Amino acid sequence: LAKTTQPISMDSYEGQEVNITCSHNNIATNDYITWYQQFPSQGPRFIIQGYKTKVTNEVASLFIPADRKSSTLSLPRVSLSDTAVYYCLVGDMRNSGYALNFGKGTSLLVTP
Partner 1 sequence: EPEVTQTPSHQVTQMGQEVILRCVPISNHLYFYWYRQILGQKVEFLVSFYNNEISEKSEIFDDQFSVERPDGSNFTLKIRSTKLEDSAMYFCASQEGVSTGELFFGEGSRLTVL
Q: Which residues bind partner 1 (CB under 8 A)?
A: 32, 34, 36, 38, 41-46, 49, 87, 93-105
In the complex with partner 1, the residue whose CB is nearer, 55 or 78, is 55
CB of 83 to partner 1, least distance (A): 17
Question: Shortest gap between Cβ of 31 and partner 1 (angstroms)?
Answer: 12
Phi, psi of 94 (to 5 degrees): -80, -10
- Of the pair 42, 112, the CB lying nearest partner 1 is at 42
The nearest distance, CB 14 to partner 1, in angstroms, is: 26
Listed residue (94, 107, 112) closest to 9, CA to CA = 107
Instruction: State the nearest-atom distance from the C-beta of 52 to partner 1, in Å.
Output: 14
Q: With respect to partner 1, which residue has the nearer C-beta, 16 or 28?
A: 28
